Amino acid sequence: MICSTGSKLKRYVFTDSQGNEVLAAIYASDIDVLCPMIQLYGVYDISNADVRLTDRKYQIISNQFQWNLRRHTSIRAVPFSRIPDVYKAGFHTADIMGVLIDADEVKEAKNDRDTVQHFTIMNPMKIPFCISVWNEMIPAVGNGLVQAAKNHSVVVAKRLAIKSYRTN
């Protein structure tokens, strides 16, 4: 979410789980009502917004449509704990951005055939994610991540395969 303010306008850019962006605008007296509901890095269900074609001179993203959020728009925060339901029905991918805070040593997997190295990334919402690098990917990717972890570098991981999800 990117926020810009003006005296009678507040604009946000929201991104969905597939990386699609949409510009949202809140006008005048609706600002005081709706803006307190929206927090940076929040996850929301938004419904009943007015969809309009964006004036080209105000278009700041590739999507040519924008949402006009009004008092009748429903903005409901979605707790992070609800997200695991999305991953119950098979294979999914995700994009993760955060600070690489830890790199485990390479070890043998429980099946005694594979090797694995785990990395911990803290996202901007301060939620840790564990990513695992397997077998031949360890020299190709894991070694670079070990060096990045020493500096607590910001990393972006695109289209990671999600095969399991733990909330603890």
Do 89-162 and 2-78 fall under one CATH topology? yes
pLDDT tier for residue 1 given thresholds of 50, 70 and 90: very low
The full set of domain ranges for the chain reads 2-78, 89-162
CATH class held by domain 89-162:
mainly beta
**Looking at the DSSP assignment, which residues form a beta bridge with residue 52?**
66
H-helix segments, 9-95: 30-34
Strand intervals (E) in the chain:
2-5, 9-15, 21-27, 44-47, 50-53, 65-69, 74-77, 92-103, 107-108, 115-122, 128-134, 154-162
Question: pTM for the whole thing?
Answer: 0.46
H-helix segments, the chain: 30-34, 137, 143-150
Q: State the architecture of 2-78 in CATH terms.
A: Beta Barrel (2.40)
- In this predicted model, what pLDDT tens digit does every residue of 121-163 receive, in sequence order? 888 777 788 888 889 988 988 888 888 888 888 887 777 776 6
SS3 call for 158:
strand
Nearest 5 degrees, angle CA 127-CA 129-CA 134? 175
Tokens of 99: 């600070």
Q: How far apart are CA 25 and CA 22, in angstroms?
A: 10
